[in-house]
Copies of this chain bind each other. A is one copy, B any other.
Amino acid sequence: MEKKDNVFTFGNALSLYYKDYETPLIINTDDINQFKRSDKFYVLGNEFNAEIKYPYFMSSLYCIESGDIVMVYNAVELIQRPRLIIKALMALRKKYGFSKLIYLPGIGDPYIIPVLVYAGADLFDDIYIKEESINNIKYTMMGKTKSSDNNINDNLKFANDIISLLRSAIKTGTLREFVEKFQYSSRAIEMLRIIDNDYFSDYSMVFPVYTPYIKANTIESLNRPDIVSYRNYIKNDYSKPDVENLLILPCSAKKPYSKSKSHKKILSRIEKYRKYIHELIVTSPVGLVPRELESMYPAAFYDIPVIGLWYEDEKKMINDLLKSYLLKNRYKNIVAYIDEDLNFIKSSGNIILIEGNILSEEKLSELESTLRDLTINSPKMDHLFNYKSMLSYQFGTWIKDYLDDIKISRSYNMDMVTRNGRALFVFNEKLGRFTINRNGACIFLNAGKKIVYIDDFKPTSYVFNAGIKDATDDIKPGDEVIIVHNNEIRGVGTALISYRAMIDLDHGAGVKVR
């Protein structure tokens, strides 16, 4: 792909190279000013009328559009009440999708830009930065400071460095990380919390299905859309296997958990009982991880500072989730084998608690003998359960109806789901997800899921957005999709952007074809 065809999204954020500029962008208003007339002005080539604009509090209006751009002209008013500006941004992205660039004039504070980009803003300008600079404010990695002179060039560089980091973050899928850790402004944090709390359902529709990593360093990590979506799945849609026993275990720093020293030690002790037992790992921020989902995203992709203390918010999240889980998924016996710091879970159900040093010989034999007793005459787990559960998680519970006669096989170090000797899905450990094999595509065509409809051509390495006619609204960036023309499967691949972006944009690639 040449540079011109670069389009990346992360949630509502858009990074694109277009008409010789790249977004997000801080517009140099000298360029606007230069061609300004009394009645008109131009933003990146788009003509706007220079009319009097009334405030939102008088008119409940906030934007004008022209060409590629929709300008929130009174952004400086709206942002004084964070809920208003977020409401405007979410509404504009919902209305225009990715077909317009959203311009927020006059509020280009480099410490606040990241969350605004996350919320959907594409264009800023240098007015705010210049205003602060002529008042001798200097931007640094520790926040703002007062200096003895005008730091306009340094400050513009600082802001543009942030912008280019944001572009990278959108491309590399780490934008959420950046926004979460960029804790310089209380206003910015308020906005992030508002997005997470008030716009979860909208935002989770466009949030990537996987990101390179989750560094759950801040309390805001608990509310990441991908993690909340995961927990919602566990809470509302997950179904346990047909076994009677549940073993609750603590998490480990190493992922997947079963590769960790502690899990290895425990599992080797209880190896012979495992087929009668369902295992569930208790952790934060993802909450609960049924063993079979441990290699998937997000369970295998997060990292959290651990000092043996839990925050109350983590405890509540885990307890609430565990209670819902146990209410929906009934076991005859529940054993929790945990360190003492986790014993706050004991009230979540009728749990046999074995707490203490989980690596001590004493506790290990207590666990062993407990499980030995519980698993006598206990039913075994269906050997296909794990894969069915994983597929349901990734694609939705609807897929269970399409999984008759599947088999599991392993080749080239990869797990495959096959039918009649043909691979339907291949599990990619690096991504923590299945890829759809060409043979599996018909499942999706029949179910009407994860479909990108294209013009009449043969997709090769990429499907460009210009060739996309439509897409089902269950497609998020990173999703596996099938490529269809007139009810005919033309390929399989990975969505690079959300369904809305595929439909709205007319350049850049939408699907990486496999």
Let me know if A218 is at the binding interface, CB within 8 A.
Answer: yes
Annotate A210-238 by CB proximity to B: 1 below 8 A, 0 otherwise.
00000111110000000000000000000
Asked whether A215 lies within 8 Å of B190 as measured between CB atoms, the reply is no
Let me know if A411 is at the binding interface, CB within 8 A.
Answer: no
CB distance from A273 to the nearest CB of B (A): 33
Q: Name which residue of chain B comes closest to A186, CB basis.
A: B305
Annotate A163-202 by CB proximity to B: 1 below 8 A, 0 otherwise.
0010011000010011011011111011001100100000
Among A174, A217, A309, which residue has the most Cβ atoms of chain B within 10 A? A217
Asked whether B193 lies within 8 Å of A165 as measured between CB atoms, the reply is no
Give A307 to B83 CA distance when docked, in angstroms: 9
Give A306 to B193 CA distance when docked, in angstroms: 9
Give A197 to B304 CA distance when docked, in angstroms: 17
Q: Name which residue of chain B comes closest to A222, CB basis.
A: B311
Let me know if A315 is at the binding interface, CB within 8 A.
Answer: yes
Asked whether B187 lies within 8 Å of A184 as measured between CB atoms, the reply is no
CB distance from A291 to the nearest CB of B (A): 24
CB distance from A478 to the nearest CB of B (A): 20
Let me know if A361 is at the binding interface, CB within 8 A.
Answer: no
Among A141, A165, A190, which residue has the most Cβ atoms of chain B within 10 A? A141
Asked whether B190 lies within 8 Å of A168 as measured between CB atoms, the reply is no
Let me know if A142 is at the binding interface, CB within 8 A.
Answer: yes
| A141-B142 contact in complex given A186-B215, A186-B217, A312-B311, C-beta closer than 8 Å | no
Asked whether B142 lies within 8 Å of A190 as measured between CB atoms, the reply is no
Of the residues B183, B219, B303, contact of A186 by C-beta under 8 Å = B303
Asked whether B140 lies within 8 Å of A165 as measured between CB atoms, the reply is yes
Let me know if A455 is at the binding interface, CB within 8 A.
Answer: no
| A219-B218 contact in complex given A142-B178, A181-B184, A305-B193, C-beta closer than 8 Å | yes
Annotate A118-150 by CB proximity to B: 1 below 8 A, 0 otherwise.
000000000000000000000011110100000
Contacts of A76 in B (CB 8 A): none
Let me know if A162 is at the binding interface, CB within 8 A.
Answer: yes
Asked whether B219 lies within 8 Å of A219 as measured between CB atoms, the reply is yes
Q: Name which residue of chain B comes closest to A217, CB basis.
A: B183
Q: Name which residue of chain B comes closest to A314, CB basis.
A: B312
CB distance from A312 to the nearest CB of B (A): 4
Let me know if A161 is at the binding interface, CB within 8 A.
Answer: yes
Let me know if A313 is at the binding interface, CB within 8 A.
Answer: yes
Let me know if A458 is at the binding interface, CB within 8 A.
Answer: no
Q: Name which residue of chain B comes closest to A310, CB basis.
A: B313
**Which chain A residues numbered 271 to 309 have a C-beta less than 8 Å away from chain B?**
303-307, 309
CB distance from A391 to the nearest CB of B (A): 32
Give A145 to B171 CA distance when docked, in angstroms: 13
Asked whether A183 lies within 8 Å of B218 as measured between CB atoms, the reply is yes
Give A490 to B193 CA distance when docked, in angstroms: 54
CB distance from A188 to the nearest CB of B (A): 8
Let me know if A469 is at the binding interface, CB within 8 A.
Answer: no
Among A162, A312, A316, which residue has the most Cβ atoms of chain B within 10 A? A312
CB distance from A195 to the nearest CB of B (A): 10
Give A165 to B137 CA distance when docked, in angstroms: 15
Contacts of A174 in B (CB 8 A): 142-143
Give A215 to B184 CA distance when docked, in angstroms: 9
Give A180 to B181 CA distance when docked, in angstroms: 11
Q: Name which residue of chain B comes closest to A166, CB basis.
A: B142
Contacts of A141 in B (CB 8 A): 141, 161-162, 165
Chain A residues with CB under 8 Å of chain B are 82-83, 140-143, 145, 161-162, 165, 168-169, 174, 177-178, 180-181, 183-187, 189-190, 193-194, 197, 215-219, 303-307, 309, 311-313, 315-316
Interface CB pairs A-B, < 8 A, 8: A143-B174, A143-B177, A183-B183, A185-B217, A186-B215, A186-B304, A219-B311, A312-B315
Q: What are the nearest 8 A-B pairs in CB distance?
A: A312-B312, A189-B305, A186-B305, A312-B313, A142-B165, A219-B219, A190-B305, A181-B183
